[in-house]
Amino acid sequence: MAIRKIAIMTAWNVDSGVFIHAEPIVKEWIKMGYDVKVFTFIREDFHGRVIFGEDEPYVTRCFGTSGKTNFLDPRPLLTEDYDVLVIEDLKMLPMKNLAKIFPMIRKKTKAIVHVFHENTILGEKPPQPPEFYAFTWDAVVYFEKKQEWYTRKLFGDLAHYIPFPCFPIRKGDKEKARAELGLPIDKKIVLVFAKGGYKPYLPRLPNNKLKDVYFLILTTTPLGWKYPQVHIRPEPPLSNEKLDQFAFAADAIILHKIHTPPYPVAVTSSATYQLLGTLRPLLAPRISEFFEPFQDVILKYSDRDELAELLVDALTMGEKTKKVLKNAESFVMGHSPEKIARMYIELFEKIV
């Protein structure tokens, strides 16, 4: 095996979509027997809103964000031993300082791979400064098909498609989760996820078909309004385990996030990749580009009336819901951490 040691620069143990991408892959590499090191943001300047818990022994915090401190401690990158270095979401890293030691990194490692998070290269001005494009990579990975045209335009044959990983299928006890969260045991609960860029969105209420439903809005800050059947629950940023607990307590989950710029962009909902494995019906707006990758695996609504109809179907386990849940399970298996991690290993071995 040519590859035994892997290092990755990425967000870690934070409420960030980059972490949602990196965590299942890294943990699968470790399960596969690889020696993995994670280089990540310092606690004073990181990508996200909160750091969760204690770091694992393989984690080193040695740099800040490009937009704030631009700090980089080069010693871990130059002294630790690794065969491959994966650099994820370069725009958030201290690029100028990283460029200064990049030739030394290249001499000591067999391959350097960039996981490309850019959602466009269009617009009135370039999204990133020129130095963003100055690095020389052995491979560039994009994870959404909508990134393909400009990734290949920039990097040619160095560009490789490896899908975004799903969190694995997992099951939780609904009654236990509700009891621990102080939620009613005997009601249908719809979780309205309204944290980060997700907004609260509700059907027209009252509605006779939804009259006994408990709508739980999970938000970061209190909302100064009232609505029938709605319970607003401010919570600090949630760890993956805590979000799972809320998902297991719910009968359905609304993920409302709209993004419709004048030109196509490659955005995606990392929360969907995270929550699909809980096998709860997910409902999201049809027009939003965040949910384009999820065809036939979630329920999509155009307005409040269609949302209400789909909620009735989800809460009664109707035919539409049965179909999307079956498709969702296949989607999660197709994007499993094991498969995605293996695709990266195959790429590493190919370029080495």
Separation of alpha carbons 284 and 247, rounded Å: 15
The pTM assigned to this predicted structure is 0.93
How far apart are the C-alpha atoms of 33 and 43, rounded to whole Å? Answer: 29
Question: Alpha-carbon torsion 216, 217, 222, 226, what sign?
Answer: negative
Helices (H), 57-216: 75-79, 95-108, 148-155, 174-181
How many other C-beta atoms are found inside a 10 Å radius of the C-beta of residue 264? 13
Are 4 and 29 in contact by the 8 Å Cβ rule? The answer is no
Q: Which two tokens stand for residue 296?
A: 């036939």
Q: Position of tokens 């300047």?
A: 45
pLDDT of the residue at 236 = 85
> Please, which contacts does 21-26 make with residues 24 or more away whose CB atoms are closer than 8 Å?
21/88, 21/115, 21/143, 21/164, 21/165, 21/270, 21/273, 22/88, 23/240, 24/165, 24/166, 24/167, 24/168, 24/337, 24/340, 24/341, 25/165, 25/337, 25/340, 25/341, 25/344
Task: Give the helix/strand (H/E) hosting 7.
Answer: strand 5-9
Around Cβ 196, how many Cβ atoms within 10 Å? 16
pLDDT digits (tens, 9 = 90+) for 100-126: 999 999 999 999 999 999 988 887 777
What pLDDT, on the 0 to 100 scale, is given for residue 91? 92
| Closest among 63, 51, 57, 50 to 10, alpha carbons compared | 63
Q: Can you give the pLDDT at residue 1?
A: 55
d(CA 324, CA 327): 5
- In this structure, the number of other CB atoms found within 10 A of the CB of residue 91 comes to 16
Q: Which residue has the tokens 């710029």?
A: 261
- Cα diameter, the chain: 68
Q: List, in sequence order, every beta strand (DSSP E) within 51-158.
A: 59-63, 84-88, 111-115, 139-142
Per-residue pLDDT of 304-352, as tens digits, reads 999 999 999 999 999 999 999 999 999 999 999 999 999 999 999 999 8
d(CA 56, CA 156): 37
> How much is the pLDDT for 226?
83
Task: Please give the order of strands across the beta sheet that includes 159-161.
Answer: 59-63, 35-41, 5-9, 84-88, 111-115, 139-142, 159-161
Q: Domains in the chain, please, with CATH? A: 5-165+336-351 (3.40.50.2000), 174-333 (3.40.50.2000)
Q: Are residues 190 and 213 in contact, defined by beta-carbon separation less than 8 angstroms?
A: yes
pLDDT per residue of the chain (352 residues) written in tens, 0 to 9: 588 999 999 999 998 899 999 999 999 999 999 999 999 999 998 887 788 878 999 999 999 999 899 999 999 999 999 999 999 999 999 999 999 999 999 999 999 999 999 988 887 777 788 888 889 999 999 999 999 999 999 999 999 999 999 999 999 999 999 999 999 999 999 999 999 889 999 999 999 999 999 999 999 888 888 888 999 999 988 888 999 999 999 999 999 999 777 778 889 999 999 999 999 999 999 999 999 999 999 999 999 999 999 999 999 999 999 999 999 999 999 999 999 999 999 999 999 8
